[in-house]
Structure 1
């Protein structure tokens, strides 16, 4: 399987300068599609008659938001088994926010328009929906708990002989290994900006092979298009920003619990609490 495809953009269009003759290499197109929820369309109160369970769940969510503090365990609201009309109301009110995630084929996550509110769909091995939940937090604990399960606690190092055209990957792997070995949960991110460092296409491919390919992919549209991919090395992420032409403008590796671009902040949670409470007032 192609490294460019699994870690989108790490070795794709925009990651390398043009050749001297002005030509660029062609690569497999980056996969960008992800199923998301519809944009919010708040129904009129008279159109929600009979959806009391859905409104009660949204009011419960508003109360949770009003008291939630970042760092506390993520509260979980269970939607599994609710009537479709109630779930439909919840989907309409929550809408689609800036961040989407997939986790290992079993999780699909969509941030609501209320930052810090996450719709989490849990699937079985056959692709059937097992659970439908809402989580409140900086990012979903469900994803956090599984993202690096089975990942290596140490970073693999370069081996001799090196593949052709691999020059700077060994030094980068040494730096990553040092940071992985000394990192503690909650530490600030250590970022390696590959866009500012000399490297070859083969360097990036070698790095991807040594770090391994994780199962969690995050798309964020908050400040331009950003794609965050986990690796099979504990605490190590690829973070890539794209311009409107899908060319990479920033390609980096971050050693951190989770990159900040993925997370909601406390002020986001507080704002979401206020806005959801305002929305639900019309249904009282």
Structure 2
């Protein structure tokens, strides 16, 4: 028998863990994550899990240190993150239970730098317009 076609029950176990984490997020705001690459899942388990969680309305393709695909499942607050290596193989795969995945939250220092840049550009544009 092909091991990749074998369902081990791991998908159901992960679904129960995600359901508990989602209830905690709703009740207390506690974030959580499940590292799928660390679990002994078969291809059939992964397919079962992906089918059960489905896809919601939001999806993102991110290009930062490699390609990442991120989508909210049909359950608000449950995100599937799949990161690819240089060879386009899955390097990391996580289900994150959070309002927004950490990778999509802009760091405060980046916001400060962007604000300074935008203000400088606006000041420059104002000076140029005054000379016209």
Relative to the length of structure 1, the TM-score reads 0.40
Query: In 2, are the aligned partners of 1:235 and 1:258 still within 8 Å (CA)?
Result: yes
Change (3 A) 1:277 1:250: same
Which residue is equivalent to 1:210?
52
Contact 2:35 2:93 (C-alpha < 8 Å) held by counterparts: yes
Contact 1:228 1:239 survives alignment (8 Å): yes
1:17-32 alignment, distance < 5 Å: none
TM alignment of 1:155-194, pairs within 5 A: 165-167=6-8, 168-184=10-26, 187-194=29-36
For residue 186 of structure 1, report the CA deviation from its aligned partner: 7.7
Paired residue for 2:99? 257
> Which has more helix, going by share of residues?
2
Q: How many residues of Structure 1 are paired with residues of Structure 2 in the alignment?
A: 123
Residues 25 and 31 in structure 2, CA contact (< 8 A), matched pair in contact too:
no
Report if aligned partners of 2:6, 2:45 keep a CA contact under 8 Å in 1. yes
The whole-number CA distance in structure 2 between the counterparts of 1:225 and 1:189 is: 24
Stretches of structure 1 lacking an aligned partner (at least 5 in a row): 1-18, 20-24, 26-163
Output the aligned Cα RMSD. Answer: 2.2
Report the secondary structure of 2:26's partner residue: coil
- 1:242 alignment counterpart: 84
2:6 and 2:57 mapped to 1: Cα distance? 28
Unpaired runs of at least 5, structure 2? 128-132
Are residues 1:201 and 2:47 paired?
no
In the TM superposition, 1:78-227 aligns within 5 A as 165-167=6-8, 168-184=10-26, 187-227=29-69
Question: Cα–Cα, structure 1 residues 182 and 262, in superposed 2: closer, same or farther, change >3 Å?
Answer: same
Deviation string, structure 1 residues 21-53 (Cα, Å, up to 9, x no partner): xxxx9xxxxxxxxxxxxxxxxxxxxxxxxxxxx
Cα distance in 2, alignment partners of residues 218 and 277 from structure 1? 28
CA distance in 1, matches of 2:88, 2:31: 25
Q: Give CA deviations for 1:136-174 in whole Å, capped at 9, x if unaligned.
A: xxxxxxxxxxxxxxxxxxxxxxxxxxxx62111111111
* Deviation of 1:188 (Å): 4.6
